[in-house]
Amino acid sequence: MNIPQLTDFSEASLDAAFAEVRALAETAITAASFDKEQFRLEWLGRKQGYLGQISDTWLKAAPVEAKKLIGQRFNALKQTIEEKLAAETLLDSGIEISGLDITLPGTAQRLGVEHPLVKTMAEIVSVFQRMGYSVGLGPEVETDFYNFEALNFPPNHPARDTQDTLVVDAQDGKPLRDRLLMRTHTSPVQIRSMLEQAPPLRLVIPGKVHRNDAADATHSPVFHQVEGLCVDTNITFSDLKGTLDHAMKAFFGSAVKTRFFPSFFPFTEPSADVQISCIFCGGKGCRKCKHSGWIELLGCGMVDPAVFASVNQRRIELGREPVYDTARISGFAFGMGVDRIAMMKYGISDIGLLYSGDMRFLEQFA
Ligand code: DAH
């Protein structure tokens, strides 16, 4: 292509010449044979590009008075061409400049999935929600009072040693009950809930807990529990047994059996450990259940009157009615480890995988 010849340097002639070049560029860009790279080379190429030729021949030949007029028109032309080219590029990538092209496929969003722990926790919670339980939550940074004292773990009581506690630094100046620690279980939310609400109460409390345990295949210093609390008139140990037996069947399948062994927790009396028939061998005995046919799954018991007493006392301190009257009400509580249940359910042999953030592991649950 040859660039138009300039006859004179009047504004009218310049306008006509630039309009001619602009029309040529537009024809090239909208042509069916348009090729972006080729156009770039032909028009904007450093050495042989038309624009370069124009600036060379027109500008150089121009008298001083006309140089500015040519320069302005040249810059405007170059900008127009570059904008048209950019618009073509965007069209190529599926974006329309003016308005929305609803015929284009949408931009796909990658959907996330629930982490196996969150999923397991939600499934356990929903089993209890279907029995009329509400969901309660509490803080992970807790005071000694809620984590221990109100749950009938007196200061220096050996039961505290079963829960290796991570304590918050620089708390020595405070009275023991106000010192901060990372909650070692979800049980303190029992107390917090009873301070806020009067009976009857049916609550499940999912959450993260912390212990000063060395990490290995079955231990993690951070893990998860689901706690339960039911307080009402005429609540008995049979209600506890029936509720947990139903929950285990709802979660693991109706063939699962439960059995209750005497145990000890400071905040329940009597206390029990609950075992379920082995979900791998159905109770015949296998490696998973150490050939016993049973798997220990959770702790539970009837709420100890000492717990109601500390709730009442604290309610009085807070100016609330001491409504947890053991002559009228009773209750049961339970707590289970979510990680172990998730590991059993999904056949995960190392708890660390749940906290590794390794996409190759997590994507298997997608
Ligand atoms: N908080 C106990 C633990 O972490 C588990 C537990 C046992 C919770 C018995 C309860 C219960 O509510 O009644 O070891």
Higher-pLDDT residue of 302 and 44 is 302
Q: Residue 50 is encoded by which pair of tokens?
A: 């038309």
> Given this model, what pLDDT does residue 92 score?
64
| Cβ pair 278, 285 in contact under 8 A | yes
Q: Which atom of ligand 1 is nearest to the CA of 336?
A: 5
Ligand 1 centroid to Cα of residue 257, in Å, is: 21
Q: Which residues contact 94 (CB under 8 A, 6 or more apart)?
A: 104, 105
270 upstream amide cis, omega within 30 of 0: yes
Higher per-residue confidence, 31 vs 143: 143
Mean pLDDT of 274-289: 96
- Nearest in space to 191 (alpha carbons), one of 159, 232, 227: 227
Atom of ligand 1 nearest to the CA of 332: 13
Is the pLDDT reported for residue 270 higher than 80?
yes
Q: Which residue's C-alpha comes closest to atom 7 of ligand 1? A: 299
CA of 335 to the centre of ligand 1 (A): 4
Residue 305 is predicted with a pLDDT of 98
What sign has the CA pseudo-torsion 30, 34, 40, 41? negative
> Cα of 97 to ligand 1 centre, how many Å?
61
Dist. CA 300 → ligand 1 center (Å): 6
The pLDDT assigned to 96 comes to: 54
218 Cα distance to chain centroid: 23
Looking at residue 93, its pLDDT comes to 63
What is the percent of the chain where pLDDT is above 90? Answer: 66
Pocket test for ligand 1, best of 201, 219, 237, 265 (most atoms within 8 A of CB): 265
> What's the pLDDT band for 29 if we cut at 50, 70, 90?
confident
pLDDT of 5 > 90? The answer is: no
Mean pLDDT of 103-132: 92
User: Domain 116-365 - what CATH class?
Assistant: alpha beta
CA 275/CA 258 separation, integer angstroms: 6
Question: Which residue, judged by its Cα, is nearest atom 5 of ligand 1?
Answer: 335
Residues framing ligand 1 (Cβ under 6 A): 185, 187, 227, 265, 268, 299-301, 333-335
Domain range summary for the chain, segments of one domain joined by +: 11-92, 116-365
**And the tokens for 92?**
């190529």
Q: Give the pLDDT confidence score for residue 207 in this predicted structure.
A: 98
Q: What is the sign of the dihedral through the CA atoms of 73, 75, 80 and 82?
A: positive
Averaged pLDDT for residues 246-266:
97
If you measure from the C-alpha of residue 226 to the centroid of ligand 1, how many angstroms do you get, rounded to a whole number?
9
Is the pLDDT at 90 greater than 90? The verdict is no
Give me the mean pLDDT over the 208-228 stretch: 97
pLDDT of residue 52 exceeding 60, the answer is: yes
Considering Cα of 206, then 208, then 211, then 217, what sign does the dihedral take?
A: positive
Nearest protein CA to atom 6 of ligand 1, as residue: 335
Sign of CA dihedral 50, 51, 54, 57: negative
| Residue 60 structure tokens | 């150089």
CA of 355 to the centre of ligand 1 (A): 23
Q: Whose CA is nearest to atom 3 of ligand 1?
A: 185
What is the pLDDT averaged over residues 197-209? 98
Q: Please give the residue that has the higher pLDDT: either 97 or 154.
A: 154
Q: Which pLDDT does position 33 carry in this prediction? A: 83
Least confident of 22-31, 293-302, 328-337: 22-31
Per the prediction, the chain carries an average pLDDT of 92
pLDDT in tens, 130-164: 999 999 999 999 999 999 999 999 998 988 988 89
> Confidence class of residue 85 from pLDDT cuts 50, 70 and 90?
confident
Q: Which is more confident, 335 or 32?
A: 335
**Cα 270 to middle of ligand 1, angstroms:** 12
Say how far apart CA 168 and CA 171 lie, in whole Å.
Answer: 7
State in Å: Cα 350 to ligand 1 middle. Answer: 23
In this prediction, residues 313-328 reach a mean pLDDT of: 98
**Residue in 148, 161, 300, 339 to alter for ligand 1 test, most ligand atoms within 8 A of Cβ:** 300
pLDDT band at 255 (very low <50, low <70, confident <90, very high): very high
Of all atoms in ligand 1, which is nearest to the CA of residue 228? 12
Work out the pLDDT band at 91, boundaries 50, 70, 90. low
Confidence of residue 94 (pLDDT cuts 50, 70, 90): low
